Amino acid sequence: MTYLYQIYEWVYFPRIGFNFISLKVEMVSLVLISSLIWFVDAFKKMEETSFYVNPVFYIIAAFLLYFCSTFIVFVVTDYMKQYKMNIRGFYMIILYAALVLRITLLVVFWKASRIK
């Protein structure tokens, strides 16, 4: 629905262009809400003996960490630019979060492929 709205906005209001800010907010909120629902559902059922064995836990935790850290950085960036502060350190947070996400996904998929 988000992409259809963006296409509608692009077709009928071409001077404005795409509003990527609303896409970022919607993507982050979608990840946060779906992760929260998964965690609540997992703790209610308690079917798994340990979350350390479940690869889905690592995938959801990695995406949750990545989206939360990048969202905070993107929110603070405009404030930092306005007051001409150094924002290079905040972009390092994005780099480290992306690195943790990629390594976590690589390890999880590698372990999952070895089990089968």
Residues 81-102 pLDDT 10s: 777 777 777 778 888 888 998 9
Mind listing the pLDDT tens digit for each residue in 32-67? Answer: 888 888 888 888 887 766 777 778 888 888 888 888
Q: What pLDDT score was predicted for residue 115? A: 67
For a pLDDT cut of 70, what percent of the chain falls above it? Answer: 82
Kindly report whether the global pTM for this prediction surpasses the value 0.85.
no
Question: Any residues with CB less than 8 A from the CB of 70 and at least 6 apart, and which?
Answer: 28, 93, 94, 97, 98
Cα separation, 26 vs 66, whole angstroms:
15
